[in-house]
Structure 1
Amino acid sequence: MTFDAVIVGGSFAGLSAAMMLARARRSVLVIDSGLPRNRFAAHSHGVLGLDGIAGGDLLRQAKAQLLDYPSVRWASDTAMEARATVDGFAVTTAGGETWAARKLLLATGIRDALPDLPGLAERWGHSVLHCPYCHGYEIGGGAIGLLGGHAMSAFMAGLLADWGQVTLFAHGMTLEPDEIATLQRRGVQIETEQVVALDGDAPQLSGARLADGRHIDLRALFVTARQEMGSPLVEQLGCVLDENPVGVLVRVDAQKQTTVPGVYAAGDATVMGNITLASAEGVRAGVSIHHALVAEDAAPKAA
């Protein structure tokens, strides 16, 4: 069987795209490994009408609703290889299945490459965080830190000052005089000593330990992890990637099509965002894929 679309990734972007195609009565296969990016966070905030819901609960509810559509199939598997064929694309999974599709959507997200700092990984998504809009309000103010060392550090530190009393740990970076002045106006403390470990009973955080032995009290630490592609399929297919201050994103056009015709991408792999933005991008991709399928179906057939 050849599906109208195979969607790799069953998180918010993938599910939203699949819903649009299912409602257009198109055949869809979703391949999902069950490892969404936000699995480390207990709750998801800033989702309109669902503020504070557990991300896993929201995904389970969305999946159940999607599978009520008879044209949708689900494969709990990991897509390992994708290639172009005469009729579209073929996707092979770790379980040994090969699935054919006219169109392919990569909703595979990104992988957060965390700094190699003792105590950081076990607190990720709990007291070590990446998005103040997702988690900042729940910290409740007080002492918070930002682990610097990247191009966005000064900007982020100034932004975080709306959520607490911020210490920017320069972590080896050099700040420009105008950046220092701006941070001072925002009440941000600058610490030049290297952070060597995080303290406290994980996943909670009591503070950062510095190379000179000092301990800086913190309620939370924000980290901008470098973003890497969550799946090898993007590069296997030859999709162009664009650099951004914290990693790479898949280049897409207004219809969410990549530089490879017939291959679309949506979600965290294409835009730095959150659940709401990923879902919206998935809707756009699903509608665009449907438009492309209709155009193909309506085109004159070769004699």
Structure 2
Amino acid sequence: MNFDVVIVGGSYAGISAGLQLARARRKVLVVDAGERRNRFAAQSHGFLGQDGREPGAIAADARTQLERYPDVTWIEGRAEGARRQEGGFAIGLGSGHVEIGRRLILAAGVSDSLPDIPGLRERWGRSVFHCPYCHGYELDQGRIGVLAVSEHSMHHGLMLPDWGTTTLFTNGAFVPDADQLRQLATRGTAVETALVREVRGEGADVVLDDGRVVALDGLFTMPRTSLQIPWVEQLGCELETGPMGPFIRTDAMKQTTVRGVFACGDIARAAGSVALSVGDGAMAGAATHRSLMFEAD
């Protein structure tokens, strides 16, 4: 079966894009590998009307609503590649099947790689976080740590005092210069230069190399991100490099550098959230519909 649009990725951005297209009565296929980025978090925050809900429940409700539209098909599986052909794109699936779409939306998101410190991954999404807007409020002005991975961690170090008493653990990742130390002091952020040995406890207590233990309610760090679909460059999409990793370059309408291919959500942003992904998806869906109406295949 041929589709007007194939959407690779069925999380917040992909479903949002699909909703716009389904309501425009276009035939839509969503291919989803089931690896939603925020699956480790118990609650999602900052998304209008859904604040505090379990993120999987938000995604499940959204999928149910999308699949009520008769022109929507959903495949649980992985897209292994895509190539341009006459009249659109051929998308190869892990099952061996090939699906055809006149347009392609990439919304598969990114995966996170954390610093190699014992205890960090086990607490990811529970007491170790990346986004202060998503998780900072729930720490209730408590004791917050920032685990540096590069000089970019200054951003966390300067932001987080709005959410609690903050300590920046440089952990050998960088040495703040005099101006950076002044900025941190102005914001009230303490600086700890000893190496971090492990993270333990009910919260995210940091054990330093010299044996000291710094009790924390939460710890923030910047993961290294990688694209969930590594074949986008083979398709011809240009990438940009953000502070956490690569993402797909798009214009304001979420069009990539390949005609007929759009991208939205975390795969097309330097950093994101549920709310931003939903907005991105709505734009990508509407722009893809416009392309179908007014541009040749």
Same fold (TM over 0.5): yes
Contact 1:128 1:223 in 2 (8 A): yes
> What CA distance in whole angstroms lies between the structure 2 residues aligned with 1:206 and 1:18?
39
**Partner SS for 1:152:** helix
Amino acid at match of 1:258: T
Q: CA deviation at 1:256?
A: 0.8
Go from structure 1 to structure 2 and tell me whether the alpha carbon gap of 1:257 and 1:145 turns closer, same or farther (over 3 Å shift).
same
> What CA distance in whole angstroms lies between the structure 1 residues aligned with 2:44 and 2:51?
7
> What CA distance in whole angstroms lies between the structure 2 residues aligned with 1:188 and 1:253?
37
1:258 equivalent in structure 2 = 256
Could you list the structure 1 runs, at least 4 aligned residues long, displaced by more than 6 angstroms after superposition: none
Does 1:183 pair with 2:181?
no
Matches within 5 A, 1:157-196: 157-172=157-172, 173-196=174-197
2:25 equivalent in structure 1 = 25
Deviates more, 1:245-254 or 1:60-69: 245-254
Q: CA deviation at 1:238?
A: 2.1
Q: CA deviation at 1:35?
A: 1.2
Matches within 5 A, 1:141-290: 141-172=141-172, 173-200=174-201, 204-271=202-269, 272-290=271-289
Contact 2:149 2:221 in 1 (8 A): no
Does 1:39 pair with 2:39?
yes
Q: CA deviation at 1:187?
A: 1.1
2:135 equivalent in structure 1 = 135
Contact 2:204 2:219 in 1 (8 A): no
For structure 2, list consecutive stretches of 5 or more residues without a partner in the other structure.
none
1:109 equivalent in structure 2 = 109
> What CA distance in whole angstroms lies between the structure 2 residues aligned with 1:245 and 1:33?
26
**Partner SS for 2:65:** helix
> What CA distance in whole angstroms lies between the structure 2 residues aligned with 1:75 and 1:244?
31
Q: Cα deviation per residue 1:245-300 (whole Å; 9 max; x = unaligned)? A: 22111100122111111111000011222111100000000001000100147x9x
Q: State, as a whole percentage, how many aligned pairs show the same letter.
A: 47
Question: Aligned residue pairs: how many?
Answer: 295
2:291 equivalent in structure 1 = 292
> What CA distance in whole angstroms lies between the structure 2 residues aligned with 1:145 and 1:236?
40
Contact 1:151 1:245 in 2 (8 A): no
Q: Cα deviation per residue 1:23-70 (whole Å; 9 max; x = unaligned)? A: 000000000011100100011011111110111001111111101101
**Partner SS for 1:66:** helix
**Partner SS for 1:29:** strand
**Partner SS for 2:103:** strand
Go from structure 1 to structure 2 and tell me whether the alpha carbon gap of 1:206 and 1:14 turns closer, same or farther (over 3 Å shift).
closer
> What CA distance in whole angstroms lies between the structure 1 residues aligned with 2:216 and 2:263?
38
**Partner SS for 1:222:** strand
Contact 1:110 1:228 in 2 (8 A): yes
The two structures, once aligned, show a CA RMSD in angstroms of 1.2
**Partner SS for 1:185:** helix
Amino acid at match of 2:210: D
**Partner SS for 1:73:** strand
For structure 1, list consecutive stretches of 5 or more residues without a partner in the other structure.
none
> What CA distance in whole angstroms lies between the structure 2 residues aligned with 1:149 and 1:174?
11
**Partner SS for 2:43:** coil
> What CA distance in whole angstroms lies between the structure 1 residues aligned with 2:180 and 2:280?
34
> What CA distance in whole angstroms lies between the structure 1 residues aligned with 2:96 and 2:221?
38
Q: Cα deviation per residue 1:75-104 (whole Å; 9 max; x = unaligned)? A: 011111111111211111112221000000
Deviates more, 1:2-11 or 1:219-228: 219-228
> What CA distance in whole angstroms lies between the structure 2 residues aligned with 1:111 and 1:261?
26
Amino acid at match of 2:193: T
Contact 1:82 1:91 in 2 (8 A): yes
**Partner SS for 2:162:** coil
> What CA distance in whole angstroms lies between the structure 1 residues aligned with 2:57 and 2:204?
29
